[in-house]
Amino acid sequence: MHGEVVEYISIRSDVTDLQESLKSIQEYDRVLNESNLVAKIDPSGHITSVNAAFSQILGYPSTQFIGQMYPRFSEYDDEEGLSSLPPDISRISLITRDMADDIWQTICKKHVWKGVVKNRTHWRGYVWCSTTITPVLDSEGDIKEFILIATDVTDLEIAKDQIKKSLQELRELDEKKDNFLNIASHELRTPMTAIKGYISMVLDGDAGEISDEARFFLDKVLLSSMRLIELINDMLDIAKLEAGKHEFIYESVDMVEFLNSTVFELAPVANMKHINFSAQLGFEYLSFETDVNKLKQALINILGNALKFTPDGGSVTLK
């Protein structure tokens, strides 16, 4: 009544959740600023502020970025052109005119732009950044500013570049391999064709009469030379093989004759090591549809390995 305090009223509101949210926002902001380059850009495209990481990674004081135009294309797209110029804040981001136009058109349409930007540091090094530029709108939907957030992905880009170089080297080696196979195949086919021709002439009696024993062995030599020519032709056809288009020619094969002739063909190898080498077949006749040249190649590889790794005086049997 007379201006005296009658009572005190205390009103309290629980703001615990709000305080926790603020802490989370502050922590998020701290992590964002420590691990990313962050810049604010006004609607006209001028940088208004950058965080500490932006300055630290690129090597310039933050004050030098303020007022700079972004995105601004580089007048020099190649590193050699830049190497002769002094470090300049205006040439930090090595953005081409097309990229600058793409960035500006995208963000002015209120869309988010994402891409990898190569930046030139104050120390003449290079930093690749995975960059996102996001338009920030006011209550009326107009662009208030742009937020640029960039993550250093230099190690990843260097690794990708090394992989590209390794792939290119592998392609070059593969091309050299193909060239070698082609040259070697052509060089081998010419003398083998001549050998086949001369053996045929001898068998036809052009060099006079030959004994039945000599004819028997010359027939085997002729068959081996023909098979070798087929193998050389396969080498010439390496492109089809690598493309998965290699053709198989199937025909009916007498397996008894085929297996016995293969053993006979490798007999000289076995004799050199005094290996008892024979075939034990459980059938008198078997007709089989196969590509005889490829089956011959596979069987000779298997038997050849058996003879190679069997000690002298040992035994190898084809059953």
User: Does the structure show a pLDDT above 90 at 210?
Assistant: no
Region of 313 please: left (phi>0), alpha (psi -120 to 50) or beta: left
Percentage with pLDDT > 70 across the chain: 79
| Residues whose CB falls within 8 Å of the CB of residue 174, separated by 6 or more in sequence, listed in order | none
**What average pLDDT does this structure show over 107-136?**
89
DSSP assignment letter at 132: E
Q: Which residue has the higher pLDDT, 237 or 64?
A: 64
The pair of structure tokens assigned to 113 is: 């732009």
- pTM for the model stands at 0.49
The burial of 4, by beta-carbon neighbours within 10 Å (0-12 exposed, 13-18 middle, 19 or more buried), is given as: exposed
**What average pLDDT does this structure show over 151-171?**
87
pLDDT band at 85 (very low <50, low <70, confident <90, very high): very low
User: Does the structure show a pLDDT above 80 at 80?
Assistant: no
The pair of structure tokens assigned to 51 is: 């965080």
Distance (Å, whole) CA 171 – CA 158: 20
Element (H, E) at 157: helix 154-203
Residue pLDDT, tens place only, 4-53: 777 777 776 666 666 665 555 455 455 555 668 889 999 998 999 888 88
pLDDT on residue 246: 67
pLDDT on residue 77: 45
pLDDT band at 205 (very low <50, low <70, confident <90, very high): confident
pLDDT on residue 277: 92
Domains annotated for the chain, with CATH where assigned, are 16-152 (3.30.450.20), 155-245 (1.10.287.130), 248-319 (3.30.565.10)
What letter represents residue 143's amino acid? Answer: I
According to the per-residue pLDDT averaged within each range, which of 21-25, 173-177, 243-247 is highest?
A: 173-177
Region of 274 please: left (phi>0), alpha (psi -120 to 50) or beta: left
pLDDT on residue 240: 61
Distance (Å, whole) CA 273 – CA 21: 85
Arithmetic mean of pLDDT over the chain: 80
DSSP assignment letter at 281: -
CA-based max dimension of the chain: 153
pLDDT on residue 238: 63
